[in-house]
Structure 1
Amino acid sequence: MNIALLGYGKMGKTIEQIAVNRGHNIVLKIDKDDTDYDITKADVAIDFSIPTVAFNNISNCINHTVPVISGTTGWLENYNKAVALCKEKNGAFIYASNYSLGVNIFFELNKTLAKMMSSLKQYNVSMEEIHHTQKLDAPSGTAISLANDIISNNENFKDWKLNEHGDYIIPITAKRIEDVPGTHTITYQSEVDTITLEHVAHNRQGFALGAVIAAEWIIGKTGVFTMKDVLGI
């Protein structure tokens, strides 16, 4: 299939390598300042751009009936607009805060643990995420997804805050360290013990592979989907 890469940074280049190895063609490589291009050259678009242009990229794809996979974080104030546009235009759209197959299993483990811990009010939960220094948003979209899933499945927590503690709050610590692809650690702590759930990405390959698999999956479909749909979990 013919793929447009919207965002051609480190992730875009890794996606290109994996897509080509899987027999696909890259027909567009768009950086953040590129606006004059024909998205209809592509069978599908993969957006790993930056927060300020992500919604425009996604809207452009949907308006031209090109299925779009987005992994850009930090733009979600416009997510509902993207969903509404996709439904209006009968388009195809997947957003995920993380396309790693392992992380999506991690999401499900996090929900299960949150449910199990709901009746154990003696445990406080906290989260730490570590990423490379080029990551623009904090906390990461993955950390936000994890925190929101805990809140939805555990009545002891009502909100999350960056670097802030409080009653019913999940505190998230965000660190930026050179060349760290992504580490997420969830900690439940009581006076007597600690339970830790952690995912450590070793490189960008897992994120890129998941995005390409999602792009392959969405061809011929219409609707708004998630990685749970792609993976059948």
Structure 2
Amino acid sequence: MNILILGYGKMGKIISQMAEERGHTIVGKIDESNTEELNHLDNSKVDVAIEFSQPAAAVSNLSWAIKNQIPVVCGTTGWLDKKPEIERLTLSNGGAFFYASNYSIGVNIFFKLNRVLAKMMEEHLDYKVSMEEIHHTEKLDAPSGTAITLAEDIIDRVGRAKRWDLDTEVTDSEHSLPIKATRQDPAPGTHIVTYSSEIDDIEIKHTAHSRKGFALGAVLVSEWIKDKKGVLSMDDFLSF
């Protein structure tokens, strides 16, 4: 399979390496220094694009891929206010767009566990829910996209949590789900969801040991999406 890498930072480099180890060909590695190469690329030789760039570049990269009928797998976070726009563009162009805030198989099992626990905790009003995420200092967005996914899934199921806030911005503690965002090195990614009461705490936690799990998941999804259409997610890929 021929793969185009959009965003050649740390994740892009690991994804490229893993894709080649699995027998795929990297036909282009695009970052902010060589975006003009997209104008000369033979789109017919690209089977899938993998987009792991920066929030400011994501919408442009995704739009380009969708308009050029290239299935695109995106893991960039921090741009999701524009996601409905990209979804509409995908459907109007008959394209394929796959987004996940985290491509680790373990994290997506954690997402499922989080949804199940949140549904169970809805009726237990004595428990206050909060979250912490820990990442490396080069991560630009806070909270992480993974933390936002966890928080939104909780809010959908726990009625007393009306919204999430960074813990430094909480103004209405009764209805807020506070998220503490810690930046320290080295830290590929840790996410902790806690339900606290005066009697006890219930906690679920996922800790990544390296970026390889994220990269492998992105490559596996790219292999899966090649001949598919529509707006897709890890729930489709994992049959959740």
TM-score tier, shorter chain, comes to: over 0.9
- Structure 1 unmatched ranges of 5 or more: none
Q: Equivalents in 2 of 1:124, 1:32: separation in Å?
A: 43
Would the aligned equivalents of 1:118 and 1:153 in 2 still touch at CA under 8 Å?
Answer: yes
Q: Return the offset for 1:17.
A: 1.2
Which residue is 1:178 aligned to?
A: 185
Residue of 124, 139, 158 corresponding to 2:128: 124
Q: Return the offset for 1:67.
A: 0.2
Q: Equivalents in 2 of 1:2, 1:189: separation in Å?
A: 49
Q: Equivalents in 1 of 2:12, 2:66: separation in Å?
A: 20
1:43 is the counterpart of 2:47: yes
Which residue is 1:98 aligned to?
A: 102
- Structure 2 unmatched ranges of 5 or more: none
Residue of 56, 60, 72 corresponding to 2:60: 56
Q: Equivalents in 2 of 1:195, 1:99: separation in Å?
A: 26
Q: Return the offset for 1:39.
A: 6.3
TM-score, normalised relative to structure 2: 0.95
Identity in percent: 55
C-alpha root-mean-square deviation of aligned residues, in Å?
0.9
Q: Equivalents in 2 of 1:114, 1:17: separation in Å?
A: 37
1:23 is the counterpart of 2:27: no
Which residue is 2:112 aligned to?
A: 108
Q: Equivalents in 2 of 1:122, 1:39: separation in Å?
A: 59
Q: Equivalents in 2 of 1:5, 1:175: separation in Å?
A: 29
Q: Equivalents in 2 of 1:67, 1:153: separation in Å?
A: 32
Which residue is 1:214 aligned to?
A: 221
Q: Which amino acid in the other structure matches residue 229 of structure 1?
A: D
Which residue is 2:238 aligned to?
A: 231
Residue of 124, 142, 159 corresponding to 2:163: 159
Would the aligned equivalents of 1:67 and 1:92 in 2 still touch at CA under 8 Å?
Answer: yes
Q: Equivalents in 1 of 2:109, 2:70: separation in Å?
A: 28
Say if 1:84 and 1:5 are closer, same or farther in 2 by CA, change over 3 A.
Answer: same
Q: Please, which moves more after superposition, 157-166 or 4-13?
A: 157-166
Q: Equivalents in 2 of 1:39, 1:217: separation in Å?
A: 22
Which residue is 1:191 aligned to?
A: 198
- The SS at the match of 1:179 is coil
Q: Return the offset for 1:150.
A: 0.2
Q: When the two structures are aligned, how many residues end up with a matched partner?
A: 233
Would the aligned equivalents of 1:157 and 1:170 in 2 still touch at CA under 8 Å?
Answer: yes
Which residue is 2:72 aligned to?
A: 68
Q: Which amino acid in the other structure matches residue 93 of structure 2?
A: K
Q: Please, which moves more after superposition, 155-164 or 83-92?
A: 155-164
List structure 1 segments (4+ residues) > 3 angstroms apart after TM superposition: none
- The SS at the match of 2:186 is coil
Q: Return the offset for 1:33.
A: 3.6
Say if 1:65 and 1:34 are closer, same or farther in 2 by CA, change over 3 A.
Answer: same
TM-score, normalised relative to structure 1: 0.98
Q: Return the offset for 1:34.
A: 2.6
